[in-house]
Structure 1
């Protein structure tokens, strides 16, 4: 009798898992595009974990900023959680706004600018020329397709700076920043908030009296046209997704731990923050 009961329980569990898997497959696959920026990695993986909790399959694809916007506009990707508006991604948005759906703000309280160690004597972007030799005549940037890079080119022109903008990636920028901080050297890097580097090192933004970088920005979630009709539940989750810079910062710091996996970190964070996650999930 006990043996039969155990067999029945095992069979029921197997059937339950099969039904759960079938339901997930029936809901379809959500394709998310993102850029290899710390904020995008954090938000994309958290949304992935939440969509999976709701029963969806999720694929994520790393692209350049331009390709990310284009992939949502063409429908190759269903959504992205990394639209910096109204300034950083203004060009992409103006060109593609009729081909995408803006789901609104997912994070409020961002900032863009040029960042230096707090020990630096530079206080304003206008001071850079005076200290150009100490920073090897360059501003250390990230990938060339990023909106902050084109804004920094405008800054160089507006302030008549005698420096070059060096492109690279988020990783090369933070590596250069770490070396400069460790060696008590000056450096100017492209910076934005939220970013884990402000929790790791003592840094400051250079004042921007010409206001080229603009004021505070917001991060928006952008979806493809037709997603609401094709996958209304996934659309509702993406539409409801909203968190704070502090909450994002928790995930960003987890991702900086050596050997950590952003996806596993996101799943752990989602598991530990179910009260917030439930606000993003549609009522059953």
Structure 2
């Protein structure tokens, strides 16, 4: 498999290329910084290349610059979008009109605060905000001193955690691990020692299957509760994860677009591939190949109508 991995820098003043000639055999997929996304992209790239004879470029780029890149015509698809209504308003039909909502990936997305079940079993009250407020000292570390630690991943992830800390009057300090991989290494090390840890995570995610984790039960999300990110008195919303396409890619209506438009899979499917990458240490291409070989009945339904594989 000859999938190309490239590091990109997206400039807000870059020249748009959506009106320029595009290589009809090239599909350019954004790679955002979490392993579940990478699992989805790896499987799609593998099928596009090995079964449909497309060239695929996987471009590592953060969430917001991904949208800029679609707008500028230098990427074709974001395969896992977590909300970002503000960006859709900016680049969608009511804004620049350069991106298109590609519909559901089939994955239900949940973001929240998690801890090991063994912590909650000893202190069940901390699964509610009032109980957590009285027990933040359980999560103190040398780095946070008198405050409890809330362990984040990448500072670039979309979060409302500081606003929740403020709204619920929690004596916690956010410590960013720097990346999801670094954060989860730290979580697993503390888990192995049965130490307390409170951290940002999401579902679907392979870590939820590897470790026995529980989610803090904050009040349900309601419209507007996250309007001021300095004061958020609700949990994260539930996300129907979706794809975002470059409008010109949709209008070209190539087989590659139809394939990506048809693609839907389950949280379990994504976790299978993500676990092979993150836990077993396989390259994304290797993990994708294994999943594709074992799940032909799933992915053949994504192929465009009348298309025959090799």
Q: 1:103 to 1:210 in 2, by over 3 A?
A: closer
Q: 1:240 aligns with which of 262, 267, 271?
A: 262
TM-score by length of structure 2 reads 0.77
Give the structure 2 partner of residue 19 of structure 1: none
Counterpart contact for 1:270–1:277, Cα < 8 Å: yes
Residues 91-138 of structure 1, C-alpha deviations (whole Å, 9 max, x = no match): 333333333111100023221110001112221244333222221222
Measure, in 1, the Cα distance between the counterparts of 2:88 and 2:129: 27
Q: 1:208 to 1:42 in 2, by over 3 A?
A: same
Give the structure 1 partner of residue 168 of structure 2: 159
Q: Which has the higher helix share?
A: 1
**2:134 aligned counterpart, secondary structure:** helix
Give the structure 2 partner of residue 109 of structure 1: 108
Measure, in 2, the Cα distance between the counterparts of 1:67 and 1:109: 23
**1:226 aligned counterpart, secondary structure:** helix
Counterpart contact for 1:114–1:125, Cα < 8 Å: no
Measure, in 2, the Cα distance between the counterparts of 1:161 and 1:169: 24
Give the structure 2 partner of residue 189 of structure 1: 199
Give the structure 1 partner of residue 276 of structure 2: 254
Give the structure 2 partner of residue 132 of structure 1: 136
Give the structure 1 partner of residue 241 of structure 2: 219
Return the offset for 1:56.
0.5
**2:298 aligned counterpart, secondary structure:** helix
Counterpart contact for 2:107–2:204, Cα < 8 Å: no
Measure, in 1, the Cα distance between the counterparts of 2:292 and 2:220: 41
Give the structure 1 partner of residue 34 of structure 2: 37
Alignment of 1:193-208 (within 5 A): 193-208=203-218
**1:184 aligned counterpart, secondary structure:** coil
Asked which structure has the greater CA Rg, the reply is: 1
Give the structure 1 partner of residue 25 of structure 2: 28
Counterpart contact for 2:219–2:235, Cα < 8 Å: no
Measure, in 1, the Cα distance between the counterparts of 2:129 and 2:254: 46
Give the structure 2 partner of residue 209 of structure 1: 219
Give the structure 1 partner of residue 89 of structure 2: 94
Residues 211-233 of structure 1, C-alpha deviations (whole Å, 9 max, x = no match): 32344211111110110233521
State the number of aligned residues. Answer: 254
Give the structure 2 partner of residue 80 of structure 1: 78
Q: 1:157 to 1:97 in 2, by over 3 A?
A: farther
Counterpart contact for 1:27–1:55, Cα < 8 Å: no
Return the offset for 1:156.
1.5
Counterpart contact for 2:79–2:244, Cα < 8 Å: yes
Measure, in 1, the Cα distance between the counterparts of 2:292 and 2:164: 39
Gaps of 5+ in 2: 1-22, 141-147, 222-233
Q: 1:259 to 1:111 in 2, by over 3 A?
A: closer
Measure, in 1, the Cα distance between the counterparts of 2:278 and 2:54: 27
Gaps of 5+ in 1: 1-25
Pairwise CA RMSD: 1.8
Counterpart contact for 2:117–2:213, Cα < 8 Å: yes
Counterpart contact for 2:28–2:77, Cα < 8 Å: yes
Measure, in 2, the Cα distance between the counterparts of 1:127 and 1:181: 22
TM-score by length of structure 1 reads 0.84
